[in-house]
């Protein structure tokens, strides 16, 4: 992780590489004025730099004392500039700095000129730097593939803003450390990141966080509990299934409690309803919901939300072994409902049936589940937007607001009551797929709703943004790779709940 520090703008011991913020269509800079700004503008104009959002280039500034070169990043037009613009500028700055082997940067943080609250935009820019500087090189052996990490960034802040900036930098580091952890888990080879590895990570988190306890239910305990969905999906795998329960309780008496539920399929072959080979290549990311829960808990004690938090993960592989569950089987979920299996590749909803039931038994005031549930959601919303389905409009609005602040877009879809007939089974209570290919994401949400009694609940289908295979400023390494989507948004939500 990059080490963030603050210093006075008059300090003499700061890096000689400076970051400048440029607005599109303006001569000046957000953190540079006067004749120096005019000279830099002339230099960057030669490279065709316009100041568009996420645009960036190196220049050798004239008349800027103590600066050997400047990394100029664009924020777009001043009128349309938003918090996310600073986050994307940070991601682009990290990408350019890494490509040029630049380990240290200085950022002159202005008291005015930037649109937005100082603490919010400082946190966003720092998050972008951290998100954009992540690299996954666990399996690389050639020295040239081991890109040296960025070491430090100094924020030059005046006495009036230094306190706000320091707090923002600390928050950004705590948020993104959880994202990095989730990315490492998602990007790991599926034979290395097994359900047991998720349990091991949960143990480390519980040990490191004051106020966090852990319960782990293995196969024997799940059999006694009657967790038929998780056990059924696990039948074809040589790896043991687990239900993981992390529990954070803040000091004092919390007024609210939230349950976070994550789908933890560490590899999804599709089971006997086998996926095509190409569709299986990225299925190590099918535990992204579980990774989001673990990443949210990583620094929860340091962030200290004043709300009780339950983290529930149902984890297994979905494999076509000799004892694998079959199309036509009927599984009994933890709440006693029977589920007819017509497609073993619709397994996420079966394990979440048990996880949601268990989470609701903890009597939370709100439940949020995250799952790479349906390919239909990717078709509908693409790779950058997650689907949201809910039984509580007020809860959904709070989550959407938190996600918007962190630049993680959500789009609400309806739980159409009339579509529930599509999952009515002739031999069991419900079946795990609809009768046709219509409304696949909504059908998945309606299935999950069967395992939520009265608790306000939001389902997030993160199948698209959990894994990215295109250039994006805050995730430049991901071609392709896991993103750690929703961790920052969940932390922002919890701290404000």
On whether the CB atoms of residues 441 and 346 are closer than 8 A, the answer is: no
In this prediction, residue 476 carries a pLDDT of: 57
Mean pLDDT of 294-301: 98
On whether the CB atoms of residues 371 and 262 are closer than 8 A, the answer is: yes
Residue 358 pLDDT > 70? yes
Residue 35 pLDDT > 80? no
Omega cis (within 30) before 280: no
In this prediction, residue 181 carries a pLDDT of: 98
Residue 308's beta-bridge partner residues?
257
In this prediction, residue 63 carries a pLDDT of: 67
Residue 329 pLDDT > 60? yes
- For residue range 254-278, what is the model confidence (pLDDT) as tens digits? 989 999 999 999 999 999 999 999 9
What are the structure tokens assigned to 245, written together?
A: 């329960």
Residue 64 pLDDT > 80? no
d(C-alpha 291, C-alpha 297), whole Å = 10
On whether the CB atoms of residues 243 and 354 are closer than 8 A, the answer is: yes
As a whole-number percent, the residues of the chain with pLDDT over 90 amount to 77
Of residues 144 and 111, which shows the higher confidence score?
Answer: 144
d(C-alpha 40, C-alpha 32), whole Å = 9
10 Å CB burial of residue 112 (0-12, 13-18, 19+) is exposed
Mean pLDDT of 208-216: 97
Mean pLDDT of 115-134: 88
Active-site hit among 41, 87, 95, 349: 349
- The number of CA neighbours under 13 Å toward the Cβ of 352 is 35
In this prediction, residue 479 carries a pLDDT of: 64
Residue 478 pLDDT > 70? no
Residue 112 pLDDT > 70? no
Q: For residue 370, give the nearest of 265, 486, 273 by alpha carbon.
A: 486
pLDDT-based confidence at residue 116 (cuts at 50, 70, 90) = low
Residue 115 pLDDT > 70? no
Least confident interval from 139-148, 175-184, 241-250, 369-378: 139-148
In this prediction, residue 384 carries a pLDDT of: 93
Residue 470 pLDDT > 90? no
Mean pLDDT of 410-423: 98
Mean pLDDT of 295-316: 98
Q: Is 265 helix (H, G, I), strand (E, B) or coil?
A: strand
What is the residue-averaged pLDDT of the chain? 93
Q: For residue 186, give the nearest of 485, 482, 467, 466 by alpha carbon.
A: 482
Q: Give the chain's radius of gyration (CA, Å).
A: 24
Structural domains in the chain, sorted by start: 3-176 (3.40.220.10), 188-465 (3.40.630.10)
Active-site hit among 196, 275, 326, 398: 275
Mean pLDDT of 286-296: 98
pLDDT-based confidence at residue 416 (cuts at 50, 70, 90) = very high
In this prediction, residue 442 carries a pLDDT of: 98
In this prediction, residue 414 carries a pLDDT of: 98
Annotation says 69 is catalytic = no
Residue 11 pLDDT > 90? no
Of residues 11 and 389, which shows the higher confidence score?
Answer: 389
- For residue range 365-412, what is the model confidence (pLDDT) as tens digits? 999 999 999 999 999 999 999 999 999 999 999 999 999 999 999 999
pTM: 0.96
Report DSSP letters for 35-96, one per residue: HHHHHHHHHHHHTT----TT-EEEE--SS-TT-SEEEEEE---TTT--HHHHHHHHHHHHHH
Annotation says 235 is catalytic = no
């Amino acid at each position: 992780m990059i080490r963030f520090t603050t210093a006075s703008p008059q300090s003499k011991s700061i890096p000689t590489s400076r970051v400048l913020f440029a607005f599109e269509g303006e001569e000046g800079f957000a953190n540079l004025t006067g004749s120096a700004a005019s000279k830099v503008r002339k230099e960057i104009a030669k490279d065709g730099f316009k100041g568009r959002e996420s645009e960036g280039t190196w220049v050798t500034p004239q008349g800027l004392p103590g600066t050997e070169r400047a990394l100029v990043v664009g924020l777009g037009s001043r009128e349309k500039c938003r918090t996310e613009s600073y986050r994307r500028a940070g991601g682009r700055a990290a990408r350019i700095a890494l490509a040029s082997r630049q380990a240290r940067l200085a950022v002159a943080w202005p008291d005015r000129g930037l649109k937005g609250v100082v603490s919010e935009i400082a946190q966003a820019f720092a998050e972008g730097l951290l998100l954009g500087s992540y690299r996954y090189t666990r399996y690389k052996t050639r020295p040239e593939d081991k890109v040296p990490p960025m070491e430090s960034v100094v924020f030059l802040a005046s006495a009036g803003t230094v306190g706000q900036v320091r707090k923002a930098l600390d928050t950004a580091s705590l948020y993104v450390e959880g994202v990095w952890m989730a990315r490492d888990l998602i990007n790991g080879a599926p034979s290395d990141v097994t359900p047991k590895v998720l349990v091991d990570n949960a143990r480390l988190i519980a040990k490191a966080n004051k106020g966090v306890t852990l319960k782990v239910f293995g196969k024997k305990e799940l059999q006694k509990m009657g967790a038929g969905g998780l056990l059924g999906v696990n039948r074809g795998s040589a790896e043991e299934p687990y239900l993981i329960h992390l529990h954070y309780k803040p000091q004092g008496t919390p007024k609210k409690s939230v349950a976070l539920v994550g789908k933890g399929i560490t590899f999804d072959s599709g089971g006997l309803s086998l996926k095509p080979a190409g569709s299986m290549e990225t299925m190590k990311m099918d535990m992204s919901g579980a990774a989001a829960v673990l990443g949210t808990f990583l620094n929860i004690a340091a962030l200290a939300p004043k709300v009780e938090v339950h983290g529930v993960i149902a984890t297994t592989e979905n494999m076509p072994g000799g004892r694998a569950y079959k199309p036509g089987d009927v599984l009994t979920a933890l709440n006693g409902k029977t589920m007819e299996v017509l497609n073993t590749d619709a397994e996420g909803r079966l394990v979440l049936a048990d996880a949601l039931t268990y989470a609701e038994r903890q009597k939370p005031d709100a439940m949020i589940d995250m799952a790479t549930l349906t390919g239909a959601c990717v078709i509908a919303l693409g790779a950058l937007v997650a689907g949201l389905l809910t039984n509580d409009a007020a809860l959904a609005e709070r989550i959407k607001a938190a996600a918007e602040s962190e630049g993680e877009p959500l789009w609400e879809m309806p739980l159409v009551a009339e579509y529930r007939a599509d999952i009515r089974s002739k031999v069991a209570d419900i079946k795990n797929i609809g009768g046709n290919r219509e409304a696949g994401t909504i059908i998945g949400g309606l299935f999950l709703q069967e395992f939520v009694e009265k608790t306000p609940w939001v389902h997030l289908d993160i199948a698209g943004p959990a894994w990215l295979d295109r250039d994006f400023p805050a995730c430049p390494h991901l071609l392709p790779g896991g993103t750690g989507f929703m961790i920052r948004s969940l932390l922002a939500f919890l701290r404000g709940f």
